[in-house]
C-alpha cells in the first residue's frame, strides 16, 4: 500500500486499525477521504485481516468536514461530486464483509465524523465525547449519510431534533438513544475495541460475513424478503467446514477452531 498522508494502518492479531491523523482536529478534507478509502480497501481485501477498527489520533475522532473546502465549493455540481464521493466510501464501509468497529475517542464526533461512525457496524465511545450533526449552523445539511443513517439508528423524531437544531449530545445520551453500543472510560476505547475484535475473530469468518450481509440487506427490504435471504445464507453455511467444526466442537465440549472455510 502506498504511503498515506492522513491515515495510519497497523495490523494486530488479525485486526486492522485505521487511525485518522489529520491535525489539529482530524477534519475530512479530500486527501483524508482518499487516504481512508485506500486504507480501507487494502485491509478489507487482506486475507490476514478479520476485523477492522477505525479511530482518531489525538483529542479527536473526526471533528467534521474541512470547512475551508466547503467554503470553496463554487456550484451545485461540484458540491454533489464531493458528497457522492464521501457517500461511496462510507457505503463501502457499511457493506464490508468484515466487521468494522468505530473506536470513538477524544472530544468530538461531529458532522462527517458522526457519519463515518454510523457507517461502521459497531460503535464504542469514550465517556466525554460529544456527538452531533451541526451542518445546519453553516446553512447546509449533512451530505455523507447523516439524514439517512441517523433516523435508522435513533428514530425519525430524535434525528430530526438533532439535525434541525445542530445540538450536540454527550456519550451517555448517545448510548441511551442507540447511536453508540457502549461507553468506556477515557483512554480505553481502542483497547475495548481490540477486545471486542478478538472475541469476533474467534468466530467463523464465513458466518460473520453471512450475518453482515443478512442484516445489511435485510434492513433495506421487507421482512419476507429478509427472511428468504436469511434462509439462503443459513443453508450455504451448512455446507462449510466451519459448520462441521462448530457442531463437532459443541458436541465434544471443546472450543471450536474455525478455519474460515
Same domain, yes or no: 119 and 172? yes
Q: Where are the beta strands (DSSP E) in the chain?
A: 7-12, 15-20, 51-56, 100-104, 108-110, 122-126, 130-132, 168-170, 182-184
Could you tell me the CATH number of the domain that includes residue 35? 3.90.226.10
135 is catalytic: yes
Q: Tell me, what's the pLDDT at 73?
A: 86
- Cell numbers at residue 45, please? 481485501
Which is the catalytic residue, given 69, 135, 161, 241? 135
pLDDT for 2 equals 62
Q: Hey, CA dihedral for 120, 107, 35, 149, is it positive or negative?
A: positive
- Do 144 and 230 lie in one domain? The reply is no
- Main-chain phi, psi angles of 239, to 5 degrees: -100, 10
The answer to whether the beta carbons of residues 183 and 172 sit under 8 Å apart is: yes
Exactly one of 12, 78, 88, 115 is catalytic; name it. Answer: 115
Q: How many whole angstroms separate alpha carbon 105 and alpha carbon 127?
A: 9
What three-state secondary structure class fits 178?
coil
Whether 112 maps to a domain, the answer reads yes
Is 50 found in the same domain as 30? yes
**Are 219 and 133 found together in one domain?**
no
Let me know whether 127 and 224 are in one domain: no
**64 shares its domain with 115:** yes
Mean pLDDT by 10 residues, the chain (261 residues): 87 97 92 96 96 95 87 90 94 97 96 97 97 96 96 97 98 98 97 98 96 95 96 96 95 94 92
Residue 1 is assigned to a structural domain of this protein: no
Print the domain residue range for 188: 7-201
Indicate whether 129 and 246 sit together in one domain.
no
- Would residue 162 count as lying in a domain? yes
The answer to whether residue 222 sits within a structural domain is yes
Whole-angstrom Cα distance, residue 148 to residue 187?
Answer: 30
Residue 257 belongs to a domain: no
Residues 182 and 66 both lie in one domain: yes
- Let me know whether 88 and 142 are in one domain: yes
How far apart are alpha carbons 194 and 103 in whole angstroms? 9
What is the spatial distance between Cα 184 and Cα 93, in angstroms, rounded to a whole number?
23
65, part of any domain? yes
Q: Give pTM, 2 decimals.
A: 0.95
Q: What is the pLDDT of residue 1?
A: 56
Catalytic-residue membership of 12: no
The string over 68-78, giving b where at least 16 C-beta atoms fall within 10 Å of a residue's C-beta and e elsewhere, is eebeeeeeeee
Number of CB atoms found within 10 A of residue 234's CB: 13
Number of domains the chain is built from:
2
Q: How far apart are CA 122 and CA 113, in angstroms?
A: 14
Residues 103 and 218 reside in one and the same domain: no
Specify whether 89 is located in the same domain as 186: yes
Specify if 50 maps to a domain. Answer: yes
Q: Are 117 and 211 contained in the same domain?
A: no
CATH number at residue 238: 1.10.12
Let me know if residue 19 belongs to a domain.
yes
H/E stretch holding 28: none
d(CA 229, CA 215): 9
CB 158 within 8 A of CB 133: no
DSSP state letter for 251: H
CA–CA separation, 29 and 220 (whole Å)? 30
Amino acid at each position: 500500500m502506498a504511503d498515506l498522508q492522513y491515515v495510519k494502518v497497523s495490523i494486530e492479531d488479525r485486526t486492522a486499525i485505521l487511525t485518522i491523523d489529520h491535525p489539529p482536529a482530524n477534519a475530512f478534507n479530500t486527501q483524508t477521504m482518499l487516504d481512508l478509502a485506500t486504507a480501507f480497501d487494502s485491509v478489507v481485501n487482506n486475507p490476514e485481516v478479520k476485523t477492522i477498527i477505525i479511530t482518531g489520533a489525538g483529542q479527536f475522532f473526526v471533528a467534521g468536514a474541512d470547512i475551508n473546502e466547503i467554503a470553496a465549493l463554487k456550484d451545485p455540481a461540484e458540491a454533489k461530486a464531493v458528497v457522492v464521493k464521501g457517500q461511496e466510501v462510507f457505503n463501502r464501509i457499511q457493506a464490508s464483509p468484515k466487521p468494522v468497529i468505530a473506536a470513538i475517542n477524544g472530544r468530538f464526533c461531529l458532522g462527517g465524523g458522526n457519519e463515518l461512525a454510523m457507517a461502521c457496524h459497531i460503535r464504542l465511545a469514550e465517556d466525554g465525547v460529544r456527538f452531533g450533526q451541526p451542518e445546519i449552523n453553516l446553512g447546509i445539511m449533512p451530505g455523507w449519510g447523516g439524514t439517512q443513517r441517523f433516523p435508522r439508528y435513533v428514530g425519525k423524531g430524535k434525528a430530526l431534533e438533532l439535525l434541525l437544531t445542530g445540538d450536540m449530545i454527550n456519550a451517555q445520551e448517545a448510548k441511551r438513544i442507540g447511536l453508540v453500543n457502549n461507553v468506556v472510560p477515557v483512554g480505553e476505547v481502542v483497547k475495548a475495541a481490540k477486545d471486542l475484535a478478538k472475541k469476533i475473530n474467534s468466530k467463523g469468518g464465513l458466518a460473520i460475513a453471512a450475518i453482515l450481509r443478512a442484516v445489511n440487506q435485510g434492513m433495506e427490504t421487507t421482512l419476507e424478503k429478509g427472511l428468504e435471504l436469511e434462509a439462503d445464507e443459513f443453508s450455504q453455511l451448512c455446507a462449510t467446514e466451519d459448520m462441521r467444526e462448530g457442531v463437532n466442537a459443541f458436541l465434544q465440549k471443546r472450543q471450536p477452531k474455525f478455519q474460515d472455510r
